[in-house]
Amino acid sequence: MSETAETAGATATSHWQIYTGSRIPHEGIEALPAPPPWRTFTGGPALPVPPGDSGNPHAAVSYRPGEDAVRQVNAALYLRRPLLVTGAPGTGKSSLAYAVAHELGLGKVLHWPITSRVALRDGLYEYDPLTRLYAAERARGDGDAGVGDDIGDYLRLGPLGTALLPYERPRVLLVDEIDKSDIDLPNDLLTIFEKGSYELVELARRAAPTAKVMTADSTTDRVEIRDGTVTCRAFPLVIMTSNGEREFPPAFLRRCVTVDLKQPASVAELTAIVREHLGPVLCGEDGELPPRTQEIIDRFFERRSGGLLANDQLLNAIYMCHHASFSEEPENVRKLADQVMPYLSGEATRHDDA
């Protein structure tokens, strides 16, 4: 381990905060104390977290968490509670999950994107009875009645179902845009989050309710489910994102740790974000951003007062304009920047054009 990584690890274990936002991997998760008595889970046997990084290396090392985000991530880890992350588009709600998984060595982020058609069962597991039936019929036709009888070949755990396996360390589960869900999903999740377990109905009904099933991580590496039930050991770090398109029930909110990510409050903060994401592309030998890049940042900051803009629009505009500047006149480059950074609401667009 490098000296810097050792320092980060020492800081994580000597301070109450396990997640520091340093973006340097360390073993601070080992210092996480036992859960509160009312949040203790006893699933087993213990499983190691699958090897590998977060699954989004750029987001993992470029995201710059604020103090509130760092504090609330730690609160969710200590209390074994889900973290509800709100904020405007482009504030890094999803990136936070990858940053935490990277720094704490919690493996690949399990990603569950939410739409209005998604139900709790979709996140837990899927069972394919038709394929199993066809396999059994083919086997009977071939005179081999045993083929197609392994139910584990037709059961695969979803992102939520995989996160609740009895891992030694908490897995990171990103429940993306939960505000787009059906009205019942938040309440359905409450039961799962409180119990830390769920039943695979098709497996529990069998005389031998034990099988090796596929997970959201892999279709080849199987995990054994005993007695048709999954119970977690280390409660997962569940990060649920919301763009504020709906209100959630009080019972749901009181069981969550919440944090609202704010837009950068200054040009300096925006400049720092651009450096993190595009520094290797833009900066010259002197390490400075080109003057034209700074002009676009200033323009973005000014326009933001007139309506909703997302930080990723700024990054897209700067990247495009950097390449266009080699052949386009400065005025055309400025027009291109505005075209790549349209307001995200019709009202603001009319205001901007006025």
Condensed to tens digits (0 to 9), the pLDDT of residues 77-92 reads 999 999 999 998 889 9
Give which of 288, 290, 312, 289 is closest to 300, Cα–Cα: 312
The neighbouring-strand residues paired with 259 are 85
Cα–Cα distance measured from residue 277 to residue 77, given in angstroms and rounded to the nearest whole number: 28
The yes/no answer on whether domain 28-138+148-261 falls in CATH 3.40.50.300 is: yes
Residue 240 has φ and ψ, to the nearest 5°, of: -105, 125
What sign does the CA torsion over 137, 143, 144, 146 have?
positive
Helix (H) or strand (E) holding 192: helix 185-195
Please, how many CA atoms are within 13 Å of residue 124, restricted to the half-sphere of its CB? 22
Give which of 162, 147, 140, 65 is closest to 104, Cα–Cα: 65
Cα–Cα distance measured from residue 313 to residue 341, given in angstroms and rounded to the nearest whole number: 5
Per-residue pLDDT of the chain (354 residues; tens, 9 = 90+): 444 444 444 444 458 999 999 999 999 999 999 999 999 999 999 999 998 899 999 999 999 999 999 999 999 999 999 999 999 888 999 999 999 999 999 999 999 999 999 999 999 999 998 888 888 888 777 766 555 578 989 999 999 999 999 999 999 999 999 999 999 999 999 999 999 999 999 999 988 889 999 999 998 889 999 999 999 999 999 999 999 888 999 999 999 999 999 999 999 999 999 999 998 888 877 778 888 899 999 999 999 888 889 999 999 999 999 888 877 777 888 888 889 999 987 555 444 443
DSSP label of 214: B
Query: Residue ranges per domain, the chain?
Result: 28-138+148-261, 267-340
Cα–Cα distance measured from residue 239 to residue 224, given in angstroms and rounded to the nearest whole number: 26
